[in-house]
Amino acid sequence: MQELTHWINGKHVKGTSGRFADVFNPATGEVQARVPLASKAELDAAVADAAKAQPKWGATNPQKRGRVMMALVGLINRDMDKLAEALSREHGKTIPDAKGDIQRGLEVIEFCIGAPQMLKGEFTDAAGPGIDMYSMRQPVGVAAGITPFNFPAMIPLWKMGPALACGNAFILKPSERDPSVPLMLAELCKEAGLPDGVLQVINGDKESVDAILDNPTIAAVGFVGSTPIAEYIYGRGCSNGKRVQCFGGAKNHMIIMPDADLDLAADALVGAGYGAAGERCMAISVAVPVGDKTADALIERLIPRIEKLKVGPYTAGNDVDYGPVVTAAAKANILKLVQSGVDQGAKLVVDGRNFNLQGYENGYFVGPHLFDHVTTDMDIYRKEIFGPVLSTVRAKTYEEALGYAMDHEYGNGTAIFTRDGDTARDFANRVNIGMIGINVPIPVPLAYHTFGGWKKSGFGDLNQHGPDAFRFYTRTKTITARWPSGIKEGSAFNFKAMD
Ligand code: NAD
């Protein structure tokens, strides 16, 4: 069986803790590799080496760092097929979806080519007599990123790209469920010209995460994953004096107004609800049609579309709409929640519980489910299911629908489908959620904007990628300079306005 490694000082390095996790092929249920789980000592040693490598990289001019990013873009494109295959084999998503995962990460690396522009700083000439004032952005030093299983290329690239472009050393702790692609990306960073030691990929679980949170050399930590872990990391990281940003779970609502194009809305819901088996933090998991007439017409359109969905392994090529979920435990949890929905009185109008894929009986496939008449007290409404399950909550009015989205504890993304500009504008302005789609079901901002949820979906002040990432991975320093020709007085004892 393949034994995966860590990536330390520009080389693959075997784990020494003696602890491993199995890496499954979710389509077959087979263990295809084992990944080492780093000890605190391994993590601390990698951080110490990163801290030694960082000053030289931080002092490299930003255009040279931008050129490494440019080379990385070319290399990722060169290896797109290979990366996508490795990603699908461990995650289970289809090859086109795996390429989308890589592409949305790649776009952030493209943005990072502009590091010189992002890091230019500010200058005020003649702020006082003979006085100039300027601000510069300096790297924080060593930063770390802890990432989830569901986007094993995109989120590591969102984290490492801006951190490295800003001149930091970076410790990546990817998900132990699908660690191969992050290791392949590290190899490509070296080929692109990144100096050894500047990027360390440490595989592991809670032990290595806690070691990151407690290591005094690490100045900033970015996390993406489930909300309970996000809250834990935010609390422990902040109390250790680090800069921390954590992005958590989601329950994204899509409101369908009576004037919406219902065919467009149904198509959008099927893609956004079931794509990637619902394992996206921006998946739509709650449909909120306004009015019973809209709800009946929507359900009538959804059922045949959902029943036609093709579920299968990524090796079946373009014939598949979505693949298996990531683990047997994830599958069991989804089916348990579906059963709770039935027990608590929701109407299961598409029942995927008996889904079986011939030849893949040990794979973690889950058939698509659609619930109608879901109420806000049910577990399927309150909890993140992270599977191919769409819940319909019927609202009588727009205000009631808006209230559902606003009252839910999560606030990652939401969408409204309507032809009415006034309603769309009101929704975008009032809703307390981070990313809003207007007739767009999955409104993931592009690389040059920023990505982040509100409420229990995001902890910390700054978002991911875009200009916020350059703020997160740098510290501002402001210099006030006066040269002897500008000095007109002796000692000054009082603050006063500069004239
Ligand atoms: P997870 O929280 O189980 O794991 C995320 C990371 O935390 C992994 O690297 C894991 O090793 C580590 N981890 C797990 N348990 C830990 C513990 N007890 N202590 C310390 N570290 C621990 O999440 P996941 O299942 O990999 O990913 C799915 C979740 O991520 C979903 O909730 C999804 O909504 C969320 N997500 C959010 C966003 C966003 O931007 N808001 C994006 C993608 C995924």
CA dihedral 262, 266, 268, 272 (to 10 degrees): 150
* pLDDT of 380 above 90: yes
CB distance 450 to ligand 1 below 6 Å: no
In sign, the C-alpha dihedral spanning 407, 408, 409, 412 is negative
pLDDT of residue 496: 76
Predicted local confidence at residue 56, as pLDDT: 98
Tell whether the model's pLDDT for residue 462 goes beyond 90.
Answer: yes
159-174 in b/e form (b: 16+ CB < 10 A) is bbbbbbbbbbbbbbbb
Q: Kindly list the catalytic residues.
A: 281
What pLDDT does 499 receive?
Answer: 64
Average pLDDT over residues 392-415: 98
Reported confidence tier of residue 283, pLDDT bands at 50, 70, 90? very high
Q: How high is the pLDDT of residue 490?
A: 72
pLDDT at 318 over 70: yes
Cβ distance 205 to 37 under 8 Å? yes
Pocket test for ligand 1, best of 171, 213, 281 (most atoms within 8 A of CB): 281
CA of residue 148 to ligand 1 center, whole Å: 4
Nearest atom in ligand 1 to 330's CA? 25
Tokens of 401: 């629908």
Contact between 368 and 350 (Cβ < 8 Å): yes
Atom 19 in ligand 1: which residue has the minimum CA distance? 206
pLDDT tens readout for residues 417-450: 999 999 999 999 999 999 999 999 999 999 999 9
- The residue to mutate among 24, 150, 177, having the most atoms of ligand 1 within 8 angstroms of its beta carbon, is 150
- Cα angle 7-10-16, degrees, rounded to a multiple of 5: 40
Residue nearest to atom 28 of ligand 1 (CA): 225
Atom in ligand 1 nearest the alpha carbon of residue 147: 9
Per the prediction, the chain carries an average pLDDT of 97
Residue with tokens 């956004």: 272
For the chain, count helices (H), then strands (E).
16, 23
Res 43: pLDDT? 98
Is this model's pTM higher than 0.85 or not? yes
Could you tell me if the CB of 224 is within 6 A of ligand 1? yes
Would the pLDDT of 101 be above 70?
yes
Quote the pLDDT of residue 69: 98
Q: Is 158 close to ligand 1, i.e. is its CB under 6 Å away? A: no
Tell me: pLDDT of 171 over 70. yes
Quote the CA–CA distance of 301 and 260 in Å, as a whole number.
Answer: 13
Does pLDDT of 231 surpass 90? yes
Beta carbon of 281 within 6 Å of any ligand 1 atom: yes
Instruction: State phi, psi for 66 to the nearest 5 degrees.
Output: -60, -35
Report the pLDDT value the prediction gives residue 494, as an integer from 0 to 100: 77
Does position 375 have pLDDT exceeding 80, yes or no?
A: yes
| Contact 203 CB / ligand 1 (< 6 Å) | no
Residue 442's alpha-carbon distances to 42, 91, 110, 171, 282, in angstroms, are 39, 20, 22, 30, 6
Q: Is 453 in the pocket of ligand 1 (CB under 6 A)?
A: yes
Rounded Cα distance between 201 and 498, Å, is 50
Answer whether 384 contacts ligand 1 (Cβ < 6 A): yes
For atom 35 of ligand 1, which residue has the closest CA?
Answer: 225
Strand partners, 245: 222
pLDDT band at 46 (very low <50, low <70, confident <90, very high): very high
DSSP-H helix ranges across 113-153: 115-118
Is the model's pLDDT at 406 over the cut of 90?
yes
- Asked whether the predicted pLDDT for residue 270 surpasses 70, the reply is yes
Give the residue from 7, 13, 44 showing the smallest Cα distance to 190.
7
The rounded Å distance from CA 228 to ligand 1 centre is: 9
Q: Concatenated DSSP letters for 145-203?
A: EE--SS-TTHHHHHHHHHHHHTT-EEEEE--TTS-HHHHHHHHHHHHHTPPTTSEEE--
Is the CB–ligand 1 distance for residue 176 below 6 Å? yes
Residue 164 is which amino acid? Answer: L
Q: Which of 398, 474, 471, 442 is nearest to 100 (CA)?
A: 442
Residues near 148 by beta carbon (within 8 Å), at least 6 away in sequence: 155, 175, 224, 225, 226
User: In the chain, pLDDT over 70 holds for what percent of residues?
Assistant: 99
User: In which band, very low, low, confident or very high, does the pLDDT at 90 lie, cut at 50, 70 and 90?
Assistant: very high
Best CA proximity match to 285, nearest among 371, 401, 375: 371
- Give the largest Cα separation in the chain, rounded: 88
Q: Is the pLDDT of residue 483 over 90?
A: no
What's the rounded mean pLDDT across residues 14-39?
Answer: 98
pLDDT band at 317 (very low <50, low <70, confident <90, very high): confident
Q: Has residue 489 got a pLDDT over 90?
A: no
Q: Is 2-248+457-480 a domain of CATH 3.40.50.300? A: no
Q: Is the CB of 442 under 6 A from ligand 1?
A: no
Would you say the CB of residue 371 lies under 6 angstroms from ligand 1?
no
The Cα–Cα gap between 15 and 26 comes to: 24
Cα 230 to ligand 1 centre (Å)? 7
Q: Can you give the residue ranges of every domain in the chain?
A: 2-248+457-480, 252-438
Query: Candidates 226, 337, 455: which one to mutate for ligand 1, based on the most atoms within 8 Å of Cβ?
Result: 226
CA of 175 to the centre of ligand 1 (A): 8
pLDDT tens digits for 468-478? Answer: 999 999 999 99
414 residue type, one letter: T
Whole-angstrom distance, CA of residue 268 vs CA of residue 274: 10
Q: For residue 147, report the distance from its CA to the centre of ligand 1, in Å.
A: 6
Cα gap 162→154, rounded to integer Å: 13
Give the pLDDT score at 488: 67
- What does the alpha-carbon distance between residue 290 and residue 403 come to, in Å, rounded to a whole number? 12
Residue 487, pLDDT > 80, answer no
Rounded average pLDDT over 361-385 = 98
Question: What residues contact 309, with CB distance under 8 A and at least 6 apart?
Answer: 270, 274, 321, 322, 368
Rg (CA), the chain: 25
Residues 6+ positions from 362 with CB-CB distance below 8 Å: 28, 29, 30
Distance from residue 227's CA to the centre of ligand 1 (Å): 8
Which residue CA neighbors atom 40 of ligand 1 most closely? 247
Q: What is the DSSP string of 405-439?
A: HHHSSEESEEEEE-S-HHHHHHHHHH---SEEEES
178 CB within 6 A, ligand 1 = no
Task: State the Cα angle at 397 between 395 and 400, rounded to 5°.
Answer: 65
Q: What tokens does 379 get?
A: 């577990």
Q: Cα(485) to centroid of ligand 1, in Å?
A: 58
According to CATH, the topology of domain 252-438 is: Aldehyde Dehydrogenase; Chain A, domain 2 (3.40.309)
